[in-house]
C-alpha cells in the first residue's frame, strides 16, 4: 500500500472511531449509514449466462451478439468497482444483495446477479465475515432484496449458509427503535440480515423486508431524483422502520443506446454527481431526516465521508444538552 493510501486509510479509521463514539447510544434508525447499490456487481462475469430476470429482448440481443453484447451489458450493469473488502475498508456498512440460481447449473449454487451473474454467494459472505472477525466492533447490514429462480429449498440453503458463516454474530429481529451500537456491542452482534421474502417470518434472525423500505425514483433526471428523495423523506418511517434514500439514477433504453459504449458511470453517474452530492451534504439524520443512503460507484465524490460526517450532528446535540 502506498504511503498516501496508508494515510488516507488511517484518517478513515480515526473518523469511523469518532463516529462510533458519537452514535453508540443513538438508535440506528436515526443515524446516517452509507450503502452501496448492487454491492456485488464488481464481480459480474461476462462469460456467465444472462440472468433469468432479464426480458426476452435482452436474451435475444445476447443470443445474436454473444460476448460483445455481454461486454456492453457489463458497462451498464456493474455499479461498483471495489470488492466487498475494498468497500468495507472504504467505510461501506450496508450491502444491497440480489440472489439467483443459474440455469442448468449442475452444482445448484446460489449467485449474486444483476442482469449477468456475479460471484457465488457463499464466497461473498465469507469475505464480509473475515472483515468482521478482524474488526469486532464493526456492524454490517445485509439486505437480500431480490430473488430470481429460487424455490423453497434454495431459501433453506441460503438460510443455512447464513447460520454457518455468521452464527451468533446475527442480531435477531426486534423493534427497530431498540437497535443501537451500544445494544449490538453488549450482545456481540455484528450482522443485521434483511430478507424480502415471506421466509423471513419463519426465521428469528431474518428481519422482514418491510422494515427496510427503499422507494425508487426510476429516473435519469437528477432534478426529478432530488425532488423524489425529498418527498420520500417527508413520508418516511411512519411505522418506525429503517429507511433507504436511493441516490441513484436509472437509465432508460434510449439512454443506453446513446451511450452504449461508454457505460453507466461515464454517461450518467459522473455527470449527475455534483447535484446529487450537494443534496446529500445538506441532509440531517434523524426521525424526520435521512437514515441509509445508497449510491453507485461509492468511491466517487466523497460520498462515504460525506454521509459519515452527517452524524456529527449528534455530537453537537450532546454538547448542547
Per DSSP, what are the bridge partners of residue 120?
111
pLDDT mean over 262-277:
94
Select from 221, 304, 293 the least CA-distant residue to 13. Answer: 304
pLDDT at 122 over 90: yes
pLDDT at 319 over 50: no
Select from 298, 285, 280, 243 the least CA-distant residue to 88. Answer: 298
Q: What is the pLDDT of residues 124-147, one digit of tens each?
A: 999 999 999 999 999 999 999 999
Q: What is the pLDDT of residues 2-31, one digit of tens each?
A: 555 556 656 666 666 666 666 778 889 999
CB 115 within 8 A of CB 51: yes
Given this model, what pLDDT does residue 318 score?
Answer: 44
pLDDT at 199 over 60: yes
pLDDT mean over 38-55:
86
Q: What is the pLDDT of residues 274-291, one digit of tens each?
A: 999 999 999 999 888 999
Judged by average pLDDT, the poorest of 173-177, 233-237, 304-308 is 233-237
For residues 15 and 25, give the distance between their C-alpha atoms in angstroms, rounded to a whole number: 17
Query: Which residues are the active-site residues?
Result: 37, 114
Q: What percent of the chain stands above pLDDT 90?
A: 67
Judged by average pLDDT, the poorest of 138-142, 186-190, 257-261 is 257-261
Residue 255: phi and psi, rounded to 5, are -65, -45
0.75 surpassed by pTM: yes
Q: What is the pLDDT of residues 60-108, one digit of tens each?
A: 666 655 677 788 888 999 999 999 999 999 999 999 999 999 988 888 8
Given this model, what pLDDT does residue 240 score?
Answer: 67
* DSSP code per residue over 221-257: -HHHHHHHHHHHHHHTTTTS---EEE------HHHHH
* DSSP code per residue over 51-92: PTTS-HHHHHHHHHHHHHHHHHHHHHH----S-HHHHHHHT-
pLDDT at 211 over 60: yes
Q: What percent of the chain stands above pLDDT 70?
A: 86
pLDDT at 239 over 60: no
Q: How confident is the model at residue 312 (pLDDT cuts 50, 70, 90)?
A: confident
For residues 70 and 76, give the distance between their C-alpha atoms in angstroms, rounded to a whole number: 10
Dihedral Cα 87, 92, 94, 96, nearest 10 deg: -40
Q: Is the dihedral of CA 282, 286, 288, 289 positive or negative?
A: positive
Amino acid at each position: 500500500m502506498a504511503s498516501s493510501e496508508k494515510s488516507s486509510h488511517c484518517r478513515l479509521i480515526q473518523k469511523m472511531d469518532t463516529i462510533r463514539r458519537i452514535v453508540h447510544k443513538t438508535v440506528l434508525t436515526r443515524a446516517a449509514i452509507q450503502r452501496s447499490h448492487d454491492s456485488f456487481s464488481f464481480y459480474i462475469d461476462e462469460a456467465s449466462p444472462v440472468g433469468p430476470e432479464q426480458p426476452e429482448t435482452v436474451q435475444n440481443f445476447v443470443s445474436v451478439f454473444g460476448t460483445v453484447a455481454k461486454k456492453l451489458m457489463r458497462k451498464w450493469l456493474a455499479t461498483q468497482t471495489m470488492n466487498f473488502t475494498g468497500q468495507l475498508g472504504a467505510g461501506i456498512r450496508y450491502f444491497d444483495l440480489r440472489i439467483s440460481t443459474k440455469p442448468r447449473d449442475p452444482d445448484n449454487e446460489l449467485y449474486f446477479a444483476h442482469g449477468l451473474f456475479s460471484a457465488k454467494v457463499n464466497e461473498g459472505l465469507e469475505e464480509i465475515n473475515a472483515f468482521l472477525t478482524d474488526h469486532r466492533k464493526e456492524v454490517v447490514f445485509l439486505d437480500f432484496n431480490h430473488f430470481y429462480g429460487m424455490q423453497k429449498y434454495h431459501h433453506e440453503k441460503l438460510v443455512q449458509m447464513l447460520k454457518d458463516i455468521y452464527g451468533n454474530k446475527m442480531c435477531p429481529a426486534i423493534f427497530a427503535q431498540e437497535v443501537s451500537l451500544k445494544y449490538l456491542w453488549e450482545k456481540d452482534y455484528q450482522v443485521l440480515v434483511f430478507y424480502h421474502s415471506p421466509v423471513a417470518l419463519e426465521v428469528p434472525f431474518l428481519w422482514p423486508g418491510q422494515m427496510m423500505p427503499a422507494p425508487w425514483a426510476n429516473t435519469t433526471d437528477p432534478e426529478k431524483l432530488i425532488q423524489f428523495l425529498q418527498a420520500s423523506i417527508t413520508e418516511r418511517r411512519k411505522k418506525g422502520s429503517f429507511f433507504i434514500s436511493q441516490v441513484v439514477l436509472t437509465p432508460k433504453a434510449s439512454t443506453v443506446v446513446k451511450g452504449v459504449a461508454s457505460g453507466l458511470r461515464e454517461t450518467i453517474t459522473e455527470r449527475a454527481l455534483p447535484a446529487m452530492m450537494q443534496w446529500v451534504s445538506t441532509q440531517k439524520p434523524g426521525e424526520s431526516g435521512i437514515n441509509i443512503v445508497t449510491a453507485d460507484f461509492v468511491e466517487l465524490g466523497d460520498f462515504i465521508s460525506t454521509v459519515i460526517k452527517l452524524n456529527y450532528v449528534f455530537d453537537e446535540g450532546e454538547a448542547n444538552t
